[in-house]
A and B are shown apart, each in its own frame.
Chain A
Amino acid sequence: MSLEPPLCPAAIRLTGIDKRFGAVHANRAIDLTVQSGSIHGLLGENGAGKSTLMKILFGMIHADAGMIEIDGAPVTFRSSAEALGAGIGMVQQHFSLIGAFSVTENLIMGRATGSLAMRMVRRLDLPRAARRAQELSDCFGFGIDPFARVSTLSVGARQKVEILKALWGGARTLVLDEPTAALSPPEAEELYALLDRLRAEGTTIVLISHKMPEIMRLCDRVTVLRDGAVVGEAELSGKDLARPAVRQLIEAHLVQMMIGRGNPELPQRAPKEGPLILDVRGLTDGVQFGPLDLKVHGSEIVAVVGVEGNGQSELVDLLMGLRKATDGLIAIDGHNVIDWSTQRRLDAGIAHIAEDRHATGVADGMSLIDNASIGFVDGKPFSTGPWFLSLRQRRLLTETLIERHQVRPPAADIPMASLSGGNQQKLVVGRELARAPRLLIAAQPTRGLDVGSTSAVHRALLDLRAGGSAILLPSLDLAEVFAIADRLVVLRKGQIVGRMTAAQFEIDQIGRWMSGSQGDPAPGPPCPDAPKQMDTAL
């Protein structure tokens, strides 16, 4: 693991960066050095302070103390405009695109230079910017229409727009904050190839992640954060790393550093054969979905995988009665529920962990008690009569859920928004499991969660399976599918194109089914000089 002494100064050197948000010490005297032309990983659980540190570098947050040097020269950025000017681009953890704007407008917003008066009268040259966006998109093989409204794009395409935006001004350093959190495996794979290529072209990259495989695969060096402090660093590009045994050792060590203990083990599970619970036949919405047949038995976790936008959400909506089926049959325990309302289906024993927690799963401003009892309120045990809800009963339930699923902090009265994403999800999962469902539809239940919360959710799902329930698991995370599913089906364009049982799981075949191709996609055309010398005066 030797490293030659760098000839040029580090692309980024952070010294003693410290930041508090009230009582939270988000960054504790962090030192970080990123070598020019390398991919540097920043590994840590949710809340470790990774985003805060990089937002400080990007000028979006002001550090309480510390120093930033770019290419050896000390800088102080008062806003991201200044960081962009210094050649740093950042892809935020949460999408920071404007849905109502076109791709081109998103790329050029805030980038024009010149006096205020000029910028107020001169017409924006959108066609020229769109041409350049097209060139840049072509050269990376993105296939993005510069005139498309961002709200009409898929999540994967939006992530590509985010990257174009970060590179637009000719950034030499690119910070990516959990860029694959919302991507399907093939899309993530494309991103990895792109990052490899950017590194080869000399771009310095900081990759924030809590996914071990992508850190191990891409990074030259990794820094591990826990509770706002650097707890370790490792070199990942040495010769020894080619040996799988060494890699595994380092990986285990990194995970240990990241979560402060060993990797949580999932309970062993034996295949069980339960009765048929969900029986779907010829289900279609008459538009792009179906017809589709699917069976899920008790004590069985069936994963539904596929590139986002190929019918997973439609399937869930059809099963829940949120979307109208034009034909087909959905049987739960032998009862056809196709004409039933959502409420009646819930009463019949279906539970649903929503894909987008913020849109449909929780009410951010309401307390944990309210969130834990949503969906139960019109029945026992909370109602003592038709008009009253028993707060005591609801508190009791909430506290039970908090304890059983180790929600932190364990306070029932605080608003949901003050919990981290992982803890919110633990409460949501607990709430749905508390219905003791016959069928649980868990749509991407661990999206964006860290290792600790993910394994807590997985354990809860396996417990439910052990209890004899059927579980349908639409997921974009193949690691999750391999870890807990008994079977999987692959959706493409609203149809099932492949089925496998756990014993047969094979990632390459799944990838081929998902992308609908047999070979690898052809690489994009070479791009000689983009995006390095782009003129930003628009």
Chain B
Amino acid sequence: MSEFITLSLFASTLHLSVPVILPMLGGLLCERSGVVNIGLEGMMLSGAFGAVVFSYLTGNPWLGLGGAVLSGLISGGMLAIMSVLLRGDQVISSTAINLIGAGLTAALVPIIWGIDGTTPSVPKIPTLPLPLLPQLPVIGPLLGELSMIDVLAFALVFIVWWVLMRTDVGLRLRACGESAAAADAAGIAVTRVRIAAVILSGVLAALGGAYLSIVTLDLFQASMTQGRGFLALAAMVFGKWRVGPAFLVCLGFGLADAVALRAQIFTDELPHDLLFALPYLLALVALATFVGRASGPADVGKPFRRA
């Protein structure tokens, strides 16, 4: 059993949680501003796809990241137009984003590459080892396997927390989510804040998708995000819309994923499919037991209109 719990389990936990953390941050910002976003999954898929397309066309994986950002701006922008500007039902609008994200990316693969399902390899982001860190005692072996990209993703957790909870911009955003009318009366441009938050959630989710397609792997596959957008949503709810707890839940999902991967190597008795369902089962249990007590932003889901 001791080989089971190894350093690499820890490292893979971190790796596997990044593509849940990024969309979780996006969803959290979006919902704290008062817009329900269950479209994270679709946004991730388009992000993963955009990254592969740009990396393929330019041969430069960093421009691939740019492609993910662009697709995030588009999917976030679409949701912002539907749910904030046109005041459509937010659940339906973001479901549309999921459907478009899944359908369009699957349809475009054969159009661009001429083959169904999985794209050929494209240039991926190189693993940039961190300077100094691996040499440090204790945390060196623990964190040494992390790349720059991972560290940036974890830094984003802190940045989002700081901006949301400690700055004026965050206070405005939270005010819009708690009571759009009160925020409006206080001179906050509710519509503008919400549009910005929705678009940002698109970008963060898209980066999460890109992490899967051009950091972990080097290709795009139809529905390759495997429900991580929904896991992110579950983490957000389970973490009660707070950055720290939601982040820990994401790590928990990453750990479950990592355990499933390991168990696959170490045992043949357990069916693999069941193991890979572990994070999802965890999410299900978490939501079923805690969602009743969850308290989201008071005004989430309600379109705001000025007279």
A369 contacts partner chain B, Cβ-Cβ < 8 Å:
no
Binds B, one of A109-117, A373-381, A436-444: A109-117
Q: Would you call B182 and A122 a contact (CB within 8 A)?
A: no
Which positions 41-92 of chain A face chain B at CB distance < 8 Å? 52, 55, 58, 60-62, 79-84, 90, 92
CB-CB contacts of A101-144 with B at 8 A, as 1s and 0s?
10001001111100010011111100000000000000000000
Please, how many angstroms separate the alpha-carbon atoms of A487 and B179 in the complex?
41
B189 contacts partner chain A, Cβ-Cβ < 8 Å:
yes
Q: Would you call A98 and B306 a contact (CB within 8 A)?
A: no
Please, how many angstroms separate the alpha-carbon atoms of A124 and B163 in the complex?
10
A100 contacts partner chain B, Cβ-Cβ < 8 Å:
yes
Q: Would you call A98 and B179 a contact (CB within 8 A)?
A: yes
Please, how many angstroms separate the alpha-carbon atoms of A92 and B183 in the complex?
12
Set of chain A residues within 8 Å of B131, measured between Cβ atoms: none
Query: Which of B171, B174, B186 is in CB contact (< 8 Å) with A80?
Result: B186
Please, how many angstroms separate the alpha-carbon atoms of A425 and B172 in the complex?
35
B186 nearest CB neighbor, chain A only: A110
Q: Would you call A101 and B306 a contact (CB within 8 A)?
A: no
Please, how many angstroms separate the alpha-carbon atoms of A342 and B166 in the complex?
46
B298 contacts partner chain A, Cβ-Cβ < 8 Å:
yes
A286 contacts partner chain B, Cβ-Cβ < 8 Å:
no
Please, how many angstroms separate the alpha-carbon atoms of A119 and B297 in the complex?
22
* Chain B interface, DSSP helix/strand/loop, else mixed: helix
Using C-beta atoms within 8 Å of the partner chain, give the interface range for chain B: 20 to 34
Query: Which of B163, B166, B172, B297 is in CB contact (< 8 Å) with A109?
Result: B172
Q: Would you call A60 and B184 a contact (CB within 8 A)?
A: yes
Q: Would you call B307 and A96 a contact (CB within 8 A)?
A: no
A388 contacts partner chain B, Cβ-Cβ < 8 Å:
no
* Chain A interface, DSSP helix/strand/loop, else mixed: loop
Set of chain A residues within 8 Å of B166, measured between Cβ atoms: 123-124
A99 contacts partner chain B, Cβ-Cβ < 8 Å:
yes
Set of chain B residues within 8 Å of A52, measured between Cβ atoms: 307
Set of chain B residues within 8 Å of A101, measured between Cβ atoms: 174-175, 178
A21 contacts partner chain B, Cβ-Cβ < 8 Å:
yes
Q: Would you call B186 and A109 a contact (CB within 8 A)?
A: yes
Set of chain A residues within 8 Å of B186, measured between Cβ atoms: 80, 96, 109-111, 165
A255 contacts partner chain B, Cβ-Cβ < 8 Å:
no
Q: Would you call A110 and B167 a contact (CB within 8 A)?
A: no
- With A60-B306, A124-B168 in contact, do A110 and B181 touch (Cβ < 8 Å)? no
B307 nearest CB neighbor, chain A only: A61
Which positions 215-229 of chain B face chain A at CB distance < 8 Å? none
- With A79-B187, A81-B187, A84-B187 in contact, do A110 and B172 touch (Cβ < 8 Å)? yes
A338 contacts partner chain B, Cβ-Cβ < 8 Å:
no
Q: For A80, A109, A123, which residue has the most chain B Cβ atoms within 10 angstroms? A: A109
Q: Would you call A99 and B298 a contact (CB within 8 A)?
A: yes
Please, how many angstroms separate the alpha-carbon atoms of A124 and B173 in the complex?
14
Set of chain B residues within 8 Å of A94, measured between Cβ atoms: 181
A385: min CB distance to chain B, Å: 35
Q: Would you call B187 and A119 a contact (CB within 8 A)?
A: no
A97 contacts partner chain B, Cβ-Cβ < 8 Å:
yes
Q: For B171, B174, B175, which residue has the most chain A Cβ atoms within 10 angstroms? A: B171
B26: min CB distance to chain A, Å: 17
Set of chain B residues within 8 Å of A55, measured between Cβ atoms: 307
- With A97-B182, A109-B183, A120-B163 in contact, do A61 and B306 touch (Cβ < 8 Å)? yes
Q: Would you call A81 and B185 a contact (CB within 8 A)?
A: no
CB-CB contacts of B159-201 with A at 8 A, as 1s and 0s?
0001100111101101100110111111111000000000000
A112 nearest CB neighbor, chain B only: B168
Q: Would you call A100 and B167 a contact (CB within 8 A)?
A: no
Please, how many angstroms separate the alpha-carbon atoms of A55 and B186 in the complex?
12
Please, how many angstroms separate the alpha-carbon atoms of A99 and B183 in the complex?
12
Please, how many angstroms separate the alpha-carbon atoms of A112 and B169 in the complex?
9
Please, how many angstroms separate the alpha-carbon atoms of A324 and B168 in the complex?
44
Q: Would you call A110 and B183 a contact (CB within 8 A)?
A: yes
Query: Which of A92, A100, A111, A538 is in CB contact (< 8 Å) with B185?
Result: A92
B87: min CB distance to chain A, Å: 16
Query: Which of B169, B188, B307 is in CB contact (< 8 Å) with A120?
Result: B169
Please, how many angstroms separate the alpha-carbon atoms of A327 and B298 in the complex?
37
Please, how many angstroms separate the alpha-carbon atoms of A82 and B189 in the complex?
11
- With A61-B307, A122-B167 in contact, do A110 and B179 touch (Cβ < 8 Å)? no
Set of chain A residues within 8 Å of B163, measured between Cβ atoms: 120-121
Please, how many angstroms separate the alpha-carbon atoms of A123 and B171 in the complex?
11
Please, how many angstroms separate the alpha-carbon atoms of A83 and B184 in the complex?
12
Query: Which of A60, A100, A116 is in CB contact (< 8 Å) with B169?
Result: A116
Please, how many angstroms separate the alpha-carbon atoms of A111 and B297 in the complex?
21
B184: min CB distance to chain A, Å: 6
Q: Would you call B178 and A98 a contact (CB within 8 A)?
A: yes
Set of chain B residues within 8 Å of A120, measured between Cβ atoms: 163, 167-169
Q: Would you call B171 and A108 a contact (CB within 8 A)?
A: yes
Q: Would you call A109 and B169 a contact (CB within 8 A)?
A: no
Q: Would you call A105 and B184 a contact (CB within 8 A)?
A: no
Please, how many angstroms separate the alpha-carbon atoms of A94 and B174 in the complex?
20
Q: Would you call A100 and B298 a contact (CB within 8 A)?
A: yes
B175 nearest CB neighbor, chain A only: A109
A31: min CB distance to chain B, Å: 21
Set of chain B residues within 8 Å of A123, measured between Cβ atoms: 166-167
Please, how many angstroms separate the alpha-carbon atoms of A111 and B168 in the complex?
9
Q: Would you call A98 and B167 a contact (CB within 8 A)?
A: no
Q: For B163, B168, B178, B183, which residue has the most chain A Cβ atoms within 10 angstroms? A: B168
B156: min CB distance to chain A, Å: 14
Which residues of A are at the interface with B, using a C-beta cutoff of 8 A?
Answer: 21, 52, 55, 58, 60-62, 79-84, 90, 92, 94-101, 105, 108-112, 116, 119-124, 165, 538
Which residues of B are at the interface with A, using a C-beta cutoff of 8 A?
Answer: 162-163, 166-169, 171-172, 174-175, 178-179, 181-189, 297-298, 306-307
18 A-B contacts, Cβ less than 8 Å apart? A52-B307, A61-B306, A79-B184, A81-B187, A83-B187, A90-B185, A94-B181, A98-B182, A100-B297, A109-B172, A109-B175, A110-B175, A110-B188, A112-B168, A116-B169, A120-B163, A120-B169, A124-B167
